[in-house]
Structure 1
Amino acid sequence: MAQDPLSLAKLIASRICHDLISPVGAIANGMELVALTGADITPEFELISDSVAGANARIKFYRIALGMSSADQKLGRSEIGAILRAFYNGTRLTCAWEVQDDCRRTEVQAAFLALLCVASALPTGGQLTVEHDSGTWNIFAQANLVRADEALWASLTSGITPEALEPADVQFAMLPECASTLERRVRFEIADNSLLISF
């Protein structure tokens, strides 16, 4: 049986993240060892260290958001929180993960994709909040400026991916499919200073 395009894309993303996480992690460990030797921490050293930490955070986030997920696997609140803090560190966005319990990785994947969708409409940054209540996930954003692409956002409910989709917008194609595997439908609300995605 031929692999469906979305599953193939997830496999590719998983492979890339898997192959990158080890060398990037090794660089991070090397930086820590150098720091332990008592060597001078120069601005150049700090720049490299921060860049490695940022790359590591992005790989971990994208591995969950874009890679293969198993409904049998769960992620803990502390692990998710650490990934999100590192991912948004140094950006104009902050994210509060208000879900107390461990979550199925497939649900976390959909939530991460929703975060990417919301963030794309916040050019000046904002506050993101993720909640899970009575079986419904809510990803909420508060910002001074909301600029949402109508065609992209419409695709979340129609399931029809816009033509010539840009790589930066792949989350809009993936979220409806991931929500469907969870037997959910994506809904959204857009206001002048806020956004909400629910599934």
Structure 2
Amino acid sequence: MTDDLTIDVNAELSGADLAAFIAAKLCHDFVSPAGAINSGLDLLNDPSAADMRDDALGLITQSASKLLSLVYFCRVAFGAATTSERFTGDELKGLVAGMIEGGRATMDWRVSETDFDKPSARALLNLAYLTAGALPSGGEAVITSRRDGDTLILTGLAEGARARLKPEAITGLSGERLKEGLAGQWIQPYWLWLTAHEAGGSLSVIAEEGRVALVARMPA
């Protein structure tokens, strides 16, 4: 499976196209933990690997937890496949924490809001995850929220020695169609931009050496 797809920049992105790119990304993300679970089961069923039973169980447990975190995160971050119309800040924090657990980035959650509608919850999840993802070598992702009149301002600040955004991510966060590069690196940033704009809000990005800032402004 690859995500090295290119998009015709001159063509309109249809709902079917958008769904296809998101589905491809989700399948790509799910393959690793699902494959690890299968490998662990193979070890358990191999009579010659009896001495690796504890390792196999550990691999299955860790991978199943990661897969479950992915499912819980994605059903809110990418869709509306949930009966909840509103989410608490603690619920959203837990979803992001499950995604970045085991990574090099740490998260400082300073979200003051306690209640989010679906568009704002979707924006916050994607913004927080992309902020942490901008720290491949480690660093701190500070996630904040505040109200300014009728606007909810969500901010993700990534600071670290190698804090950066890939070119495809910058393209997506700017709301631009991908001309070249990896669609898998583009679709989630573009989805965040689309989420903010379809809700009547906006998204801005600052990317400089050692520092990345994402700011989503959503109707409160």
Partner in structure 2 of residue 133 of structure 1: 146
- Partners of 2:96 and 2:86 lie apart in 1 by 16
Name the structure 2 match of 1:166.
183
Residue aligning to 2:99: 87
Match of 1:143 among 160, 167, 172: 160
The answer to whether the Cα contact below 8 Å between 2:205 and 2:212 also exists between their aligned partners in 1 is yes
Q: CA deviation at 1:178?
A: 0.5
Give the letter aligned to residue 74 of structure 2. Answer: Y
> Is the Cα–Cα contact under 8 Å of residues 21 and 187 in structure 2 kept in the other structure?
no
What per-residue deviation string (whole Å, max 9, x for no partner) do you get for residues 166-191 of structure 1? Answer: 22331122112111122111111123
1:75 aligns with 2:100: no
**Residues 31-53 of structure 1: CA distance to partner in whole angstroms, max 9, x if unpaired?**
xxxxxxxxxx9333222111111
Structure 2 segments unaligned to the other structure (5+ residues): 1-13, 38-52
Q: Deviations over 1:94-149 (max 9, x none)?
A: 22332231211211211222234334433213221221112211111111112323
Are the aligned partners of 1:122 and 1:146 in contact in 2 as well (CA < 8 Å)? yes
Structure 1: runs of 5+ lacking an equivalent = 28-40
**Shift of residue 154, structure 1, vs aligned partner:** 4.3
Q: Structure 1: which 4+ aligned runs deviate by more than 4 Å?
A: 6-13
Higher relative contact order (CA 8 A, sep 6+): 2
Tell whether the 8 Å contact from 1:92 to 1:124 is kept in structure 2 after alignment: yes
Question: 1:10 Cα shift?
Answer: 9.4
2:76 maps to 1:59: no
How many aligned residue pairs are there? 173
1:49 match: 61
Q: 1:37 matched to which residue of 2?
A: none
- Give the TM-score taking structure 1 as reference length: 0.72
Higher normalized strand content (fraction of residues): 2
Bigger mean CA deviation after superposition, 88-97 or 52-61: 88-97
DSSP 3-state at the match of 1:98: strand
